[in-house]
Amino acid sequence: MHRTDFLVIGSGIAGLSFALKVAQLGSVAVVTKRQGIDSNTAWAQGGISCVTDEEDSFDLHVADTLDAGVGLCDESVVRTIVSEGPERIQELIDYGVDFDHHEVDGEQVISLGREGGHSVRRILHSRDTTGREIEKKLLAAARAEPKITLFEHHYAIDLITTSKLGLATENRCVGIYALDEKEGEVVNFRSDRVVLATGGSGKVYLYTSNPDVATGDGVAMAWRAGVEVENMEFIQFHPTVLYHPKETSFLISEALRGEGGVLLGDDGEPFMSKYDERNDLAPRDIVARAIDTEMKRTGSRCVFLDMRHHSKAFLEDRFPNIFQTCVDHGVDPSKEPIPVVPAAHYQCGGVNTDINGMTSLKGLYAIGEVACTGLHGANRLASNSLLEGAVLAHRAAEYLKAKMPVDRTVSDIDLPKWQRGDAEDVDELVVIYHNWDEIRRLMWDYVSIVRTDKRLQRAATRLANLKREVHEFYWNFKITGDLLELRNLVDVAGLIVESARLRQESRGLHYTLDHPDKLTELRDTILTRY
């Protein structure tokens, strides 16, 4: 059993920033299921939004965020996150993050990009691989910090609570079970401060811009432990992922539309003016829905993003990764429009937390995409997520610092060893892969950009059967990383469908043909398993 003052699950911007901040207070274990670098953060292209320019203001950033969130953002949370942004950006710069600059009157100033829903340029970026730059710098700092131990290839299985242990104390989280994949054994991590920073759940869908690690692990574990989960119906679909048979997850950043990119239909004509006066820079829910409508109307398999108004030199310099990837797949963006389709991109709901990352379970915190703080409401404003990860990591660390030393009544608890009787090796791996594909396809067909009551009902019925099969598998066979991810996917898919069925209106990212209007009442969808 590993004992640690702080246990962090996940190694993206939120998890690593938090770990670095609390390392001055005690020992920190960071548990991550692949290598440290394998996180959603590392795949973020566009950048991090923050007010850094004198033409901009906190009020403007707050207003844009509220507008994108269609009535469901918590304004005080939005204001706190937006106004604490500049200090967090400075910290990232201090860790060596190299945001792009340009020269004005002999002075270097930060270059700012623009994305949908932002009324001004406010996105700090590092070419088109901003997340990778942030991830690399934070990971290097964490590896150099003696108080932090990084447990790579460790899959978190479940949260351990005092109620699960049958202890007659107030229910709280006291650690986790995790699969050490290299050793093939289950180990315990014992801690009074457990932080979920596991990112999102894009892999629930057949098409996604997310990396393979995005299987909703934190939400699923929290849910199974009886923690409140909020607004899971709001899954953001990014309007533009490269359409190519061999490359189904490559994002074509919204920053391209920020530099004047225009969406064209199958007939080569721009279409966004039919849908929103902000044209190609309307918020993402609107653009993704417009593309979906155009594809259904014309029967086309994709639409196109036209960047031909820029020179090859500009595109290669500003978007080197995107430019090269397109060229590698036979498309030169300076000469021809890029074929694009929408794909699942961001989970706006998640584990319900307050502004310090505190969940409904004592001892458990959630930060970053796994959490629902109230920042995003019904639709996330582009590039607000890295900002939220950095700010919430700081706030959770400060909150815990103020509470040290915490209530010690549970500290002597020992965790029982993992008991799974005579579990056998999985004999039919094909069943796991089949179920995995089935979940992702049915979520794509029935629960994506446009929903109906009937599609949601079908999805719920199929998922109930799949859940039974997967959980049977889980109890009868030796666990593997694939089986753990499948179990989490089926639980999270169920939460998305249940939340979507409860929202009988169309708002932000939840659009249903059966209830096309917004209700006047504003409410969040909160699910709890007792």
Residues with active-site annotation: 284
Interface with ligand SIN includes 129 (CB under 6 A)? no
Q: Please give the structure tokens belonging to residue 87.
A: 């200090």
Q: Decide whether 47 or 494 has the Cβ nearer to ligand SIN.
A: 47
Beta-carbon count within 10 A of 424 CB: 8
> Strand 28-31 to strand 6-9: parallel, antiparallel, or no bridges (unpaired)?
parallel
> Strand 303-306 to strand 112-113: parallel, antiparallel, or no bridges (unpaired)?
unpaired
How far, in Å, are 203, 209, 389, 484, 496 from residue 131 at the CA level? 19, 14, 12, 26, 26
Q: Give every strand in the sheet of 154-161, ordered side by side.
A: 2-3, 185-190, 173-180, 154-161
Restricting to residues 38-77, which ones interact with ligand SIN according to CB under 6 A?
45-46
Q: Decide whether 28 or 255 has the Cβ nearer to ligand SIN.
A: 255
Interface with ligand SIN includes 162 (CB under 6 A)? no
Q: Decide whether 288 or 500 has the Cβ nearer to ligand SIN.
A: 288
Q: Give every strand in the sheet of 48-49, ordered side by side.
A: 48-49, 123-124, 112-113
Identify which range of 73-81, 95-103, 156-164, 250-258 contacts ligand SIN by CB under 6 A: 250-258
Q: Do 196 and 462 form a contact (C-beta atoms < 8 A)?
A: no
Interface with ligand SIN includes 255 (CB under 6 A)? yes
Q: Decide whether 119 or 163 has the Cβ nearer to ligand SIN.
A: 119
Interface with ligand SIN includes 383 (CB under 6 A)? yes
Identify which range of 148-156, 275-283, 353-361, 379-387 contacts ligand SIN by CB under 6 A: 379-387
Q: Which residue has the tokens 């043909």?
A: 513
Interface with ligand SIN includes 282 (CB under 6 A)? no
Q: Decide whether 385 or 506 has the Cβ nearer to ligand SIN.
A: 385
Q: Which residue type is seen at 234?
A: F
Give the contact letters, 194-233, x = binds to ligand SIN (CB under 6 A), - = no. ----------------------------------------
Interface with ligand SIN includes 254 (CB under 6 A)? yes
Position with the least CB separation from ligand SIN: 46
Q: Which residue type is seen at 356?
A: N
Q: Do 258 and 113 form a contact (C-beta atoms < 8 A)?
A: yes
Give the contact letters, 303-342, x = binds to ligand SIN (CB under 6 A), - = no. ----------------------------------------
Give me the phi and psi of 308, to 5 degrees please: -70, -10
Q: Decide whether 188 or 385 has the Cβ nearer to ligand SIN.
A: 385
Of 475, 488, 366, 376, the closest CA to residue 423 belongs to 475
Interface with ligand SIN includes 382 (CB under 6 A)? yes
- Pick the binder of ligand SIN from 208, 385, 435, 512 (CB under 6 A): 385
Beta-carbon count within 10 A of 470 CB: 22
The footprint of ligand SIN on this chain (CB under 6 A) covers a number of residues equal to 11
How far, in whole angstroms, is CA 293 from its chain's centroid? 25
Q: Decide whether 373 or 383 has the Cβ nearer to ligand SIN.
A: 383
How far, in Å, are 252, 374, 402, 404, 420 from residue 165 at the CA level? 47, 32, 28, 25, 16
Min dist CB 217 to ligand SIN, Å, is: 20
Interface with ligand SIN includes 253 (CB under 6 A)? yes
Q: Please give the structure tokens belonging to residue 144.
A: 């150099």
Question: Which residues of the shown chain bind ligand SIN in the complex (CB under 6 A)?
Answer: 45-46, 251, 253-255, 345-346, 382-383, 385
